[in-house]
Structure 1
Amino acid sequence: MGSYAKATMTGFVCRLCSEHKKSVIHFYSAKAQELELLRKLTLLPITIEKYDNLPKTICHDCIEKLNLQYRLIERIRKSFEIQQRHRLFHSNGRCPLECPLYGIENYLQQRNVK
């Protein structure tokens, strides 16, 4: 049996916020795979390596924040794609029916008037 003073509790420390939590999810667990945590973590300016000596867990608060960030980035990417396609349809300055943003100008004008 080892010394309690030398024991480390890295399994209960969140890798992102460094706080001790009672409930965490391990990055390589089935639940983490279901939540696609490793893919979402690639959005952050950190690297997660399977065999480094840092915590491999994330708390539920950080998962919520990570999901919010992920949804925002996905929304921005989709919007950017629509805007890029929108530009391709305009040769005369008018928005043709085939344009992904067709009718958006009228919608925006109606919102500003009311």
Structure 2
Amino acid sequence: MGSYAKAIMTGFICRLCSEQKKKVIHLYSGKARKLALMEKIKLLPITIDKYDNLPKTVCEQCIERLEIQYNLVLKIKKSNAIQRSHRLFHSNGRCPVECPLHGIHDPNWAGLDSDEL
């Protein structure tokens, strides 16, 4: 078993970027749960098992990047849901007040005259 002083000197390996860092968060710590790291990592094309012999730490830079990616995915999912429900409200190309995108210009209708909208 190595010494604690050596561990501090060499740092820890980030599970995501494989770089050695001094400041990391352990994936199964309270802080990682608070940040929902495992939920966000599930968006990546990797699997993490609590008992595999790979690093269980993530560096701050990867956490920031993961947060950005996670927010983008949430935005895309929300936008997709809004657009799908938008289409459900339309029977004749008109956008009723109940529609979540009412009042937003739809480029698909660009060829229609304003009286047709």
> Do both proteins adopt the same fold according to a TM-score greater than 0.5, normalized to the shorter chain?
yes
**What is the CA-CA distance between 1:19 and the residue it aligns to?**
0.4
Gaps of 5+ in 1: 110-114
Is structure 2 residue 87 aligned with structure 1 residue 87?
A: yes
Partner of 1:105: 105
Q: Which amino acid aligns with 1:56?
A: K
**What is the CA-CA distance between 1:57 and the residue it aligns to?**
0.3
1:45-60 correspondence runs (5 A): 45-60=45-60
Distance 2:51 2:7 in 1: 17
Q: Which amino acid aligns with 1:26?
A: H
**Which structure is richer in relative contact order (CA contacts within 8 A, separation 6 or more)?**
1
* Aligned positions, number: 104
Percent pairwise identity? 62
From the two aligned structures, give the one with the greater helix fraction. 1
Q: Is 2:11–2:23's contact at 8 Å kept on the other side of the alignment?
A: no
Superposition misfits of 4+ residues, deviation over 6 angstroms = 7-11
The change in CA–CA distance for 1:44 and 1:3 in structure 2 (over 3 A counts) is: closer
Partner of 1:100: helix, strand, or coil?
Answer: coil
Partner of 1:104: helix, strand, or coil?
Answer: coil
